[in-house]
Structure 1
Amino acid sequence: MTMPELKHIRAAYRVSVKGLIYEDGKLLFVRERSDTWDLPGGGLEHGEGIAEALRRECREELGAEIEITNAAPIIIPTWSKKFDIPVLIIAYQVRLVSPPTTTPDVSELRYIGADELGQVKLDSTLSAVIDQFYI
């Protein structure tokens, strides 16, 4: 590929951090104002570290503090239909330090088992890769 061809390659992508919060083999999901479910977390802000972003997102979405319990993240490339760009999900196992609650950003919290995934509508970035998060 020549340099002029490189100008047309779309290099933008979104980095999203997610918290994997398990209870009895189920994962904690959040439902924002839409009808889709997502793992707690969100995009990194400019200059923000990954762990810092995950803690901030969990405070915003769960009203709770977390502790990262596994230093090795699960890293998965996927696609966001919402933003029409590639997304790199960086997911860490975390433990809730305080109880979660709904917040202005989240209308509902729910632990969902792998056998229940067909009954809920997942965020487009998760739908193809969600099975990789169940342990």
Structure 2
Amino acid sequence: MTVRVVVAGAVYDQGRLLAARRSAPPELAGRWELPGGKLEPGESPQQALVRELREELGVETEPGERIPGEWPLKPGLVLQVWTARVVSGEPRPLQDHDELRWLTRHELDTVDWLDQDRPAVAEAGRRLPDGVRG
């Protein structure tokens, strides 16, 4: 069986991580994820991530490092997560999402993440700054 890769972006900006709320399919609607999508034939994971974030959020991004790990979504489908930063545009929910939120490290547990995204979000959160201390 061929395993297809879904790439997701841990998109960072000003010490925050971007969360996207699913609007479809119905069984995932209302839960949160790191935005992304399936790798197309001939694409590198980084190329797929840039394309998916452009299609889903309307932004141009620059991929960074891969977050260690790979998470099964369903048989024949695995999730890989890459860090990314927005180089132009303002993210907005264009496809598959109805809301976006920028979360600080301390806000990551305030949304209901999809189960398969949780380990990657925890790892992505470790890369966020602790926040300003007075």
Alignment TM-score, normalising by the size of structure 1: 0.75
1:111 is matched with: 102
Structure 1 ranges of 4+ moved more than 6 A: none
1:86 to 1:102, Cα distance in 2 relative to 1, 3 A: closer
- Structure 2 unmatched runs, 5+: 24-28, 128-134
Is the contact between residue 27 and residue 111 of structure 1 (CA under 8 Å) also seen in structure 2? yes
The number of residue pairs the alignment matches comes to 121
Structure 1 residue 87 corresponds to structure 2 residue 78: yes
Judged with a 3 Å threshold, the aligned counterparts in structure 2 of structure 1 residues 55 and 94 are, in CA distance, closer, same or farther, namely same
Where structure 1 has 5 or more consecutive residues not aligned to the other structure, the ranges are: 1-10
SS in 2 for 1:53: helix
Coordinate RMSD, CA, aligned: 2.1
How has the CA–CA distance of structure 1 residues 117 and 55 changed in structure 2, closer, same or farther, with 3 Å as cutoff? same
- Identical counterparts, % of pairs: 33
**Which residue of the other structure, out of 109, 123, 131, is the alignment partner of 2:122?**
131
* Structure (1 or 2) with the larger CA radius of gyration: 1
Q: Residues 61 and 94 of structure 1: is their aligned pair in 2 closer, same or farther, counting only changes over 3 Å?
A: same
Q: Using the alignment, how far apart are the partners of 1:65 and 1:129 within structure 2?
A: 22
